Amino acid sequence: MIVAGVMSGTSADGVDVALVRLTGQGLRTRFELIRHRSFSYPAAVRETVLQAMNAPAIAVSELARLNFRLAEIYADCVRRTVRLAQVECDLVGCHGQTLYHQGARSTFLGKKIACTWQIGDGSVLAGRLGVPVVSDFRPADMAVGGLGAPLVPYLDMLVFRHAKRGRIVQNIGGIGNLTAIPAGAQATEVRAFDTGPGNMVMDAICETLFGKPFDGRGSLAAKGTVLDAIVTEQMKLPFFHRSGPRTAGREEFGREYVTEFLRHCGSAPKHDILATATALTARSIGDAIRRLSKHNLYNDLFVSGGGTQNLTLMKMLREEVNALGIKVLPTDAVGVPSQAKEAIAFALLAYQTWHRKASNVPKATGARREAILGKVSYV
């Protein structure tokens, strides 16, 4: 079966499509990447998406329109990838664009709830492409008590589990998240959680201070000096000290956080501020790994996501973990292109759902049990 995985992360930079050939089932599924393509959102779309995520108030009509409009964009991206690869796809797995994610339960209208919301309507996408679509993956995990994230550990287990080597798999998208797989681990021994900001804080600071959407190759941060006291201070945030499953998003590290961060930095040179935000991402990942390493031996750190293209960040990350005897490698080293990994994961999850197989990892999300993820839109 050929499945198109469609990912659009919290960076709101655009859409990744991975065309994947899948065989077998459950944890014995095998896959082969046929083609991967990244598409940037047109500037006006990105702006609207960011507004919808950050605005304290936005018209419901605008959200409804965006839900349908994004589905058209996803359809276009899939169509172009399929045409390029000259294959037909049988199924689509579409993550959608997260507008809001609240993993922790809090009281609303007299009852404690957690909730999440990804848009880009599955029926519209199925209608445009003429193939079934699995979308809206996160609520099924939350319905059984999970945080709804992270969902990528299922792929990580499939790809990175090793009999003799302990491995950590870190994605650096808008948010950073890791999966830790001890040597010879069973599914119940795998741990996964969000490490904190990935590119999100760096991107926002780059936009505010330099008028650029991101720090290309990390060259601006490379010119600055890290304000160590600020990194140490920021690492005291309760989020970084929560153990067990934890999830973050724009709710934790979005616009409000960045305003606070900039206030702390005061009148420091702008290159130093960006270098400091870069160091915060590296330190928060390093800290998480140091804590994991107290209980298990890890040999390799595999990294993926847009953050791997930031050379200053990668240098800082290497300095954080090399002291632990851990080798840093891109996921490309095991045949998973680092920018395609999350899109591949949603092709895999859709494939499991299509076969009525569960694909959350309860140890990672905190769910009470396994769940079949997503909603199917038939054609």
Ligand X SMILES: Nc1ncnc2c1ncn2[C@@H]1O[C@H](COP(=O)(O)OP(=O)(O)O)[C@@H](O)[C@H]1O
278 binds ligand X (CB under 6 A): no
141 binds ligand X (CB under 6 A): no
| Residues 182-201 within binding reach of ligand X (CB under 6 A) | 199
How far are the Cα atoms of 9, 56, 297, 365 from residue 349, in angstroms, in the given order? 16, 32, 29, 15
Q: Which does 217 bind (CB under 5 to 8 A by kind): ligand X, Mg ion, none?
A: ligand X
Q: Which does 315 bind (CB under 5 to 8 A by kind): ligand X, Mg ion, none?
A: none
Contacts of 107 (CB under 8 A, 6+ apart): none
Q: Which does 199 bind (CB under 5 to 8 A by kind): ligand X, Mg ion, none?
A: ligand X
In the complex, minimum distance from the CB of residue 12 to ligand X, in angstroms, rounded to a whole number: 7
Q: Which two tokens stand for residue 111?
A: 């009852």
CB 169 within 8 A of CB 178: yes
Number of H helices, E strands in the chain: 13, 13
In the complex, minimum distance from the CB of residue 319 to ligand X, in angstroms, rounded to a whole number: 18
In the complex, minimum distance from the CB of residue 337 to ligand X, in angstroms, rounded to a whole number: 11
- In angstroms, the CA 345 to CA 6 distance is 9
Identify the residue whose tokens are 């936009």: 207
103 binds Mg ion (CB under 5 A): no
> Which residue stretch of 5-13, 43-51, 177-185, 367-375 sits at the interface with Mg ion (rule: CB under 5 A)?
5-13
3-class state of residue 17 by DSSP: strand
| Residues 290-309 within binding reach of ligand X (CB under 6 A) | 305-307, 309
Identify the residue whose tokens are 């891109």: 330
| Residues 324-343 within binding reach of ligand X (CB under 6 A) | 342
| Residues 202-221 within binding reach of ligand X (CB under 6 A) | 203, 214-218
11 binds ligand X (CB under 6 A): yes
9 binds Mg ion (CB under 5 A): yes
How far are the Cα atoms of 43, 66, 143, 362, 364 from residue 368, in angstroms, in the given order? 41, 33, 9, 7, 11
Closest by alpha carbon to 85, among 9, 32, 13? 32
In the complex, minimum distance from the CB of residue 135 to ligand X, in angstroms, rounded to a whole number: 17
Task: List alpha helices for 294-328, DSSP H.
Answer: 311-322
- In angstroms, the CA 83 to CA 45 distance is 24
Burial of residue 121, with CB atoms counted within 10 A of its CB: 0-12 exposed, 13-18 middle, 19 or more buried: buried
Q: Which does 305 bind (CB under 5 to 8 A by kind): ligand X, Mg ion, none?
A: ligand X
Strand-pair category, 97-108 with 111-119: antiparallel
Q: Site for ligand X (CB under 6 A): which residue of 2, 5, 10, 37?
A: 10
342 binds Mg ion (CB under 5 A): no
In the complex, minimum distance from the CB of residue 172 to ligand X, in angstroms, rounded to a whole number: 7
In the complex, minimum distance from the CB of residue 16 to ligand X, in angstroms, rounded to a whole number: 6
Q: Which does 203 bind (CB under 5 to 8 A by kind): ligand X, Mg ion, none?
A: ligand X
Binding site for Mg ion (CB under 5 A): 9, 11, 13
Binding site for ligand X (CB under 6 A): 9-11, 13, 173-174, 199, 203, 214-218, 305-307, 309-310, 342
